[in-house]
């Protein structure tokens, strides 16, 4: 799968703060590129495209994956925007990021791919694995020192309310689906749904 490996601060300057992409802070305020200093009025399509790009870069998804999540959110009953966030927040790599196992979602994906994470006592190495309420997430015994080091350096002090974490045992419990207030990303999800409504 193709992932974005380019300069991350350029993306942050263009789209705003993306906690899942990088923890670095840029000193420049203008957008990247030779025309970054000139302010143009964005079109309606441009506004929706930027909101979609925020979601895509923050969670480290490909275009195809994001479209599949939007289709699944539309199919389910309820508020489409909230369901989309719940699908993305229940991914195993996102949960590991929210627990502080890694400073970015890309780092959390690497932890999962390298078989450090257990779900209900079984090793899971698929980053897009959909966790469910009452799932227990733990770490292999040989990986505890690595995770403890990452937990000391974690950026966000609070853990979302849908997760319960025991820092001594390094065991987490998924209590429920996430609420809109718990999501770190500043985004208008309705614009993302409108962007994909034309497809």
**Per-position pLDDT tens, the chain of length 199:** 467 778 888 888 888 888 888 877 777 777 777 666 777 788 899 899 999 999 999 999 999 999 999 999 999 998 999 999 999 999 999 999 999 898 889 989 999 999 999 999 899 999 999 999 999 999 998 888 888 888 887 766 678 888 999 888 889 999 989 888 888 888 888 999 999 987 7
Q: What pLDDT sits at residue 34? A: 67
Q: What pLDDT sits at residue 156? A: 67
Q: What pLDDT sits at residue 186? A: 87
Give start-end residues of each CATH 1.10.1050.10 domain in the chain: 8-87+185-196
CATH class label, 8-87+185-196: mainly alpha
The token pair at 81 is 């925007």
- CATH topology for 91-176 is 3.10.290
CA dihedral 173, 177, 180, 181 (to 10 degrees): -30
Q: What are the CA-CA distances from residue 160 to residues 24, 108, 177 (Å)?
A: 22, 16, 10
Give start-end residues of each CATH 3.10.290.10 domain in the chain: 91-176
* Rounded CA separation 162/167 (Å): 16
């Amino acid at each position: 799968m193709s992932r974005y490996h380019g300069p991350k601060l350029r993306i942050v300057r263009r789209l705003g703060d993306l906690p899942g992409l990088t923890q670095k802070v840029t000193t420049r305020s203008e957008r990247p590129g030779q025309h970054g200093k000139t302010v143009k009025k964005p079109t309606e399509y441009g506004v929706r495209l930027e909101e979609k790009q925020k979601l895509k870069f923050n969670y480290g998804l490909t275009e195809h994956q994001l479209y599949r999540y939007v289709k699944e959110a539309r199919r389910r009953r309820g508020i489409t925007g909230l369901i989309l966030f719940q699908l993305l927040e229940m991914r195993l790599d996102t949960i590991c990021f929210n627990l502080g196992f890694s400073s970015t979602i890309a780092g959390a994906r690497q932890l999962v791919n390298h078989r450090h994470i257990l779900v209900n006592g079984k090793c899971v190495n698929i980053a897009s694995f959909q966790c469910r309420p009452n799932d227990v997430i733990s770490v292999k015994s040989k990986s505890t020192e690595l995770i403890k080091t990452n937990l000391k350096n974690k950026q966000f002090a609070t853990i979302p309310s849908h997760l319960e974490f025991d820092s001594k045992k390094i065991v987490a419990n998924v209590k429920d689906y996430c609420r809109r207030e718990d999501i770190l990303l500043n985004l208008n999800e309705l614009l993302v749904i409108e962007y994909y409504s034309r497809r």
